Structure 1
Amino acid sequence: MQLEIFQVDAFSSVPFGGNPAAVIPLQQWLPDDVLQRIAEENNLSETAYFVRNGEAFDLRWFTPAVEVDLCGHATLAAAWVLFEQLGEQAEVLRFNTRSGELRVSRNADGLLAMDFPVKQPVAVEIAPGLLEALGLSEARALYRTDDYVLVIDDASLIEGLKPDFVALSSFDVRGIAVTAAGRGFDFVTRWFGPRVGVNEDPVTGSAHTSLAPYWAERLGKNSLRCEQGGARKGQLQCDVPGNGRVIISGRGALYLRGVIFI
């Protein structure tokens, strides 16, 4: 069997930036174990698969270790492939996913806008051992959705974080986002997910469904410029219109197009 594969750097306008995702269009679903093994072989933080379903697409995401409920950068990559490589003419792409229907539109200059549901973060006590695992001595607050969202006051500490990934994998959350205001953006973030097989994700679109509503409320603005990453970074635009949705926008760049033989 031969399958077409694309590798797209999401949330970047040029290769080698943002967050790489594999995108594999399918005519019909393969067995789950095959989808998982392909994602493991790709060894990227996410591999996205889609199958056309009427006027929409069924979309699934796999890390090298597990299938996940929501992935922003691989959704953007899948939409970019449909628009820019496969000639999709629809003004808005509709994806059926484990997180409900997701919509992606494209504006005149190629910016892709993803319409995701808000995940409102809830304040919790700072978990014992969390700061030590991140190499931090203090934090402003901790919030929880699918992830822990740890807010710190000094954005300069974000760049130098060197987490203990074994220790982080013991926390019962999808991942840990460390975020702060400033450094030329409304807020900056790094995201660590060793529990789902991704030690660090350069740009995590889905994490911004929690990050954006937090920062929108704290900063008193509903349009936010964001950056995520350590050595490798990407940029996002997040809009929080107050209707229970987050509009997460970014660009994509093609790195690879090829064929898988299985």
Structure 2
Amino acid sequence: MQLPFYQIDAFTDTLFGGNPACVIPLQQWLPDEMLLKIARENAVAETAFFLPQGDDFALRWFTPEIEMDLCGHATLATAHVIISLLQHSSHRLLFNSASGPLKVEADGDLYTLRFPSRKPVPAVLPEAISRSLGKQPLEVWKSRDYILVYATETDIREMKPDRQVMDQINLDPGGVVITAPGVHCDFVSRFFTPQASIFEDPVTGSAHCSLIPYWSGRLGKRQLTAMQLSDRVGTLYCGDHDTVVTIAGYARTYATGSIRIG
């Protein structure tokens, strides 16, 4: 069996920036074990699989280890493939996913995701995460992910978590977000996933489902610009709409081809 294959850099307007995702169109679902093997072979943070569902699309995301409940950058990458590369007739897409229906709209080469808001609540930091940090946060919040709030962008840039210590805790499918006010944007963040093959995720759209309502409330702004300060760096244009958030960004095509399985 031969399947089309695309690799897209998401949340960036520059090749080799943002977060790389693989996107594979299907005509029917393959066994979950096969989807996981393909994601493991691709060796990027997420592989998205989609198939047509009437006028809409079904969408699933796999890391090299597990299936995810929600993924922002791979959704953006999938929309880019469908609209820009496969020349879909509409610039408005609806994806049916494990997190419910997800809308994406393209305006030129800017893609806006409409995702569920996941407002974090105050939490107690697990001891393993606390010990792994070089500096303790000012605030601890949690939804799917732990949201650790620091004073400055410098705190975020200079953080060097001890992976061996953080790996003592399993947060599947969540992770650890560190965040602070930005110097040239509203807020910055980084994202770490204990026990994952890719410890620091380059740009994590789904984490902004919690970051956006937090920073919107703190800054008193509905529209925000965010940067994720990984080595690859990503820029996200965010909106708080109470029960949903909008997360917009650009994408660039790195590779197209096919894979052979079976």
Q: If the length of structure 1 is used for normalisation, what is the TM-score?
A: 0.96
Percent identity among equivalent residues? 45
> How many Å separate the matches in 2 of 1:121 and 1:77?
26
In structure 2, relative to structure 1, the CA distance for the partners of 1:196 and 1:41 (3 Å cut) is same
> How many Å separate the matches in 2 of 1:104 and 1:15?
22
- Alignment partner, residue 86 of structure 1: 86
> How many Å separate the matches in 2 of 1:134 and 1:75?
31
Query: For residue 222 of structure 1, what is the amino acid of its counterpart?
Result: R
Query: For residue 79 of structure 1, what is the amino acid of its counterpart?
Result: A
> How many Å separate the matches in 1 of 2:138 and 2:160?
19
> How many Å separate the matches in 1 of 2:230 and 2:134?
15
Query: Does the 8 Å contact 2:169/2:194 carry over to 1?
Result: no
> Any idea what the Cα deviations from partners look like across 1:118-153, whole Å, max 9, x if unmatched?
0010101233242331222x2111111110000011
Query: Does the 8 Å contact 1:191/1:229 carry over to 2?
Result: no
Query: Does the 8 Å contact 2:226/2:238 carry over to 1?
Result: yes
SS at match of 2:87: coil
> How many Å separate the matches in 2 of 1:236 and 1:110?
14
> How many Å separate the matches in 2 of 1:157 and 1:254?
33
CA-CA distance at 1:196 after TM superposition: 4.3
Spell out the pairing of 1:121-140 with structure 2 (5 A cutoff). Answer: 121-136=120-135, 138-140=136-138
CA-CA distance at 1:178 after TM superposition: 0.2
Query: For residue 224 of structure 2, what is the amino acid of its counterpart?
Result: L
CA-CA distance at 1:183 after TM superposition: 2.1
Query: Does the 8 Å contact 2:128/2:168 carry over to 1?
Result: no
Query: Does the 8 Å contact 1:63/1:198 carry over to 2?
Result: no
| Corresponding residue pairs, total | 259
> How many Å separate the matches in 2 of 1:172 and 1:35?
22
Query: Does the 8 Å contact 2:128/2:169 carry over to 1?
Result: no
- Alignment partner, residue 118 of structure 2: 119
Task: Determine if the alignment matches structure 1 residue 231 to structure 2 residue 228.
Answer: no
Match of 2:157 among 156, 159, 183: 159
Query: Does the 8 Å contact 2:83/2:91 carry over to 1?
Result: no
Q: If the length of structure 2 is used for normalisation, what is the TM-score?
A: 0.96
> How many Å separate the matches in 1 of 2:184 and 2:177?
19
Task: Determine if the alignment matches structure 1 residue 256 to structure 2 residue 241.
Answer: no
Query: For residue 45 of structure 1, what is the amino acid of its counterpart?
Result: A
RMSD value, Cα? 1.2
Q: Is there any run of 5+ residues in structure 2 with no aligned partner, and where?
A: none
SS at match of 2:186: strand
